[in-house]
Amino acid sequence: MDTVAIGQGELIDWAVAARALPGEERSGDLHLVEPFPAGVLVAAVDGLGHGEEAAQAAQTAVDSLIRYAHEPPLSLVRRCHERLMTTRGVAMSVASFALTNHTMSWLGVGNVEGSLFRGNRGSRPARESLLLRGGVVGYQLPRLLPSVVHVGPGDLLVFVTDGIGGYPFDGLRMTERPARIAEDILARFARETDDALVLVARYRGDSS
């Protein structure tokens, strides 16, 4: 498990579990957790198909996200789209935590599923799902509609690529460490026919 600290006591704990399609050396499913002033960007990227070309497309997207991590998700996806036009393209979901006002702006194109689970048991809804728009970053973008939600201490963000199948998110154990959650989902629900990745990030808020 890794921790990202921004400013005075603003923390995010995160972990990733991933594997390539059996028989392939590289995975086309990549992740990014990149801090920037007063925030942190979390992303999961799935290069179309699998193998070397998928991995190259995903890496191109990640490189662009790193360079422009401070920008909002709408701008990030558009920048990736421009960079990826000579590749096979990717599906991707990005979430930008603004730690100064405790919000998260997120956006998804393709089939990288995103869910935000509330750490406060009294919160309703207890789970919020990222609205995914059909399309391929690098080939054809849909109308991009990012959404913004408030986040509180203990809220848990989970991104899974489509190499994870049939995970019953209502059974997620919120008290587990992000690494344990990610590893358990991968071990139990990774498909044998695709690359797979699980990225888990817990917002800790102001720990001071």
- Does residue 29 carry a pLDDT above 50? yes
What pLDDT is attached to residue 124? 72
Rounded Cα distance, 176 and 162, in Å: 23
Q: What is the 3-state secondary structure (H, E, C) of the chain?
A: CEEEEECCCEEEEEEEEEECCCCCCCCCEEEEEEEECCEEEEEEEEECCCCHHHHHHHHHHHHHHHHCCCCCHHHHHHHHHHHCCCCCCEEEEEEEEECCCCEEEEEEECCCEEEEECCCCCCCCCEEECCEECCEECCECCCCCCEEEECCCCCEEEEECCCECCCCHHHCCCCCCHHHHHHHHHHHHECCCCCEEEEEEEEEEECC
Query: Once rounded to an integer, what is the mean pLDDT over residues 47-61?
Result: 94
What pLDDT is attached to residue 2? 62
Q: Which CATH number characterizes residue 63's domain?
A: 3.60.40.10
Per-residue pLDDT reduced to its tens digit, 83-133: 999 999 999 999 999 988 999 999 999 999 999 999 887 677 788 999 999
Structurally, the chain folds into a number of domains equal to 1
Per-residue pLDDT reduced to its tens digit, 4-21: 555 444 578 999 999 999
Structure tokens at 81: 């789209």
Q: Which domain holds residue 67?
A: 2-206
Structure tokens at 103: 């919000």
What pLDDT is attached to residue 166? 78
Closest CA to 197 of 156, 159, 157: 159
Structure tokens at 100: 């100064």
What are the backbone dihedrals phi and psi of residue 121, each rounded to the nearest 5 degrees, phi first? -65, -20
Mean pLDDT of the chain, nearest integer:
90
Per-residue pLDDT reduced to its tens digit, 184-205: 999 999 999 999 999 999 998 7
The type of residue at 60 is T
More confident residue, 129 or 3: 129
